[in-house]
A and B are shown apart, each in its own frame.
Chain A
């Protein structure tokens, strides 16, 4: 699935881009997709047994509407990821978010996750792009965890109205140190897990 021949002429005017970028991995349908498919099929069958065809169709139309609404945002997220992978200089990213970036890298990842706009349709393509351009697991974990725990998007749109201000503020305060801790733990475990396999 990688279009290697097309990648060659890309880095025309940027010396930093001279090294060939590791192609983004496009996965074939893996076992995780098979698990979801089986889960969905079993659930749909159970809904059919309980509610009949009407129940199945009702959920289908609702979810199709949802899907239609999400689709443009998924496209925006993919474009965002692709731009980030293309625009951010590889060595700068590996210096500030790479395995040797230390606490600073984890803090940058945390800050980035906290300010990132949008929902899962942006966070995950962007995180994936960061991994491609040289961020390590630790910094990327800090980013994803920060987005999910202290990102303002979900908190403002959903948590504040449903859970109330007191709980939300308290919950976010408690969460503040967690992205850095998760990133540090990730780095700690990663180095010990993979250093023997790939020195």
Chain B
């Protein structure tokens, strides 16, 4: 259901921008469609490798190992461990959030779980390699990841009781 909504919004935005391009002239429309299709063709092999391969990477990094890093230690060492766990978590949102939810139930302190979720969202290595690097200049991707490093810690500091 939510997938359907995403698709409708997504293709709706494409259509809306397509109309804007078309009003600028036919050539602008055909040029952009051409450009986008070329990007697509270029990116498909990279995405294929990442998406098809990510199942294997997820299969050899068991969730229990990651969960183990999210212990009850809510000191800075615990938060550092949570950030490393976030960066190392393979797979999509279900894996990341499920690990967070388990940690929350098992008594992982809230600041670590927040640090974990934010680190995972900001620089999970698999998303960097699988999604960001194919689409964006590598220099930007590494720069952005490096700049993001302090923020899970900052969020944990704000989230402390």
Contacts and interface: CB of A to CB of B under 8 A. Distances in A.
A130 to B, nearest CB: 10
Give the contact-size bracket for chain A.
35 or more
Contact of B53 (A3, A40, A76): A40
Interface string B89-132: 00001100110110010000010011001100110000101111
A74 B47 contact: yes
A111 interface: no
B32 A85 contact: yes
A91 to B, nearest CB: 16
A156 interface: yes
27 contacts: A12-B27, A33-B133, A35-B129, A43-B53, A43-B59, A46-B60, A63-B54, A70-B51, A71-B44, A73-B6, A81-B36, A83-B18, A87-B17, A120-B131, A124-B132, A128-B136, A131-B137, A140-B144, A149-B121, A159-B97, A162-B97, A162-B98, A162-B100, A167-B104, A170-B110, A170-B114, A171-B118
Contact of B27 (A10, A35, A157, A185): A10
Interface of B: 2, 6-7, 9-11, 13-14, 17-18, 20-21, 24-25, 27-28, 31-40, 42-44, 46-57, 59-60, 93-94, 97-98, 100-101, 104, 110, 113-114, 117-118, 121-122, 127, 129-138, 140, 143-144, 147-148, 150-151, 154-155, 158-159
A90 B4 CA distance: 33
Interface of A: 1, 3, 6-7, 9-10, 12-14, 24-27, 30, 32-33, 35-37, 39-40, 43-44, 46-47, 50, 55-56, 59-60, 62-64, 66-67, 70-87, 117-122, 124-125, 127-128, 131, 137, 140-141, 144-145, 148-149, 153-154, 156-159, 162-164, 167, 170-171, 174-175, 178, 181-182, 185-186, 189-190
Contacts of A164: 101
* Closest 6 pairs (CB-CB, A-B): A40-B53, A82-B36, A124-B135, A43-B56, A83-B17, A79-B36
